[in-house]
Chains A and B, each alone.
Chain A
């Protein structure tokens, strides 16, 4: 089945509640959509870097962890522009689905 939202829209939605890293974004999107939207390593990492270049996200390194072989996590968070894009997207989806904002969690 074709995914109902784009990778970019899913990433914006996943980051609306705070910073996250690639693996966590993939899991958040899968869990919050009950598996309807599946991001993969193949599409999420290039899209994250593209969105960062476009000024929607900023990234920074976390602390290295042993389960990553001493590598740090790469965290992403929305910039002001990214937050505006995410809010616009949310409003558009609510309008499209003909929902009242109070019906949206």
Chain B
């Protein structure tokens, strides 16, 4: 680590200091929390420490992190801009059902840009409500995708009917109701 480190605790914001204290506390538990080790290293790496303090920090996390991870992090920590809360975000990937809901919402939000507002609010709103209920009931992901497909189909079809009726109404008015 750079040798110009000096102890300046005021470098840490109040939030960072709180997180650091929590992370150190978690590290002392058995089994130690690996994410906390990363956090300690990151936060401490951004502080300006005396060399022996920095060595102490590395020793502190070495039992939890591999040597190469410690070295890599200690090299990048002082330069990388980091958002502390992001380190506490879960690292597990979303479940297939959560992914399906996110995709369904995105697909229906896209469809909603193309259809009349009333259909968008009523039919797409109802479809999303149904999809969330299906997910809560533990239905498989393919149910959700099927629901998106059928809802999109019906919304598209009803939009065509809506516009056809509007056009027919305009023609009807223009021709005095004779339709000619």
Contacts and interface: CB of A to CB of B under 8 A. Distances in A.
B123 A68 contact: no
B128 to A, nearest CB: 5
Contacts of A74: 118, 121-122, 125
Given A22-B126, A41-B150, A71 B121 contact: yes
Given A46-B158, A71-B120, A72-B121, A41 B127 contact: yes
A69 B120 CA distance: 11
B180 interface: no
Interface string A42-58: 10011000000000000
Contacts, number: 55
B57 interface: no
B121 A41 contact: no
A22 B158 contact: no
Contacts of A73: 122, 125-126, 129
B161 interface: yes
Interface string A1-22: 0000000000000000000011
Nearest to B133: A67
A42 B161 CA distance: 12
B122 A69 contact: no
Nearest to A71: B125
A85 to B, nearest CB: 22
B148 interface: no
B73 to A, nearest CB: 38
Given A42-B157, A45-B158, A46-B161, A69 B126 contact: no
Contacts of A21: 122, 126
B105 A69 contact: yes
A71 B108 CA distance: 12
B129 A23 contact: yes
A67 B158 contact: no
Contact of A68 (B119, B125, B150, B157): B125
B64 interface: no
B124 interface: yes
Interface of B: 105, 108-109, 118-130, 132-133, 150-151, 154, 157-158, 161
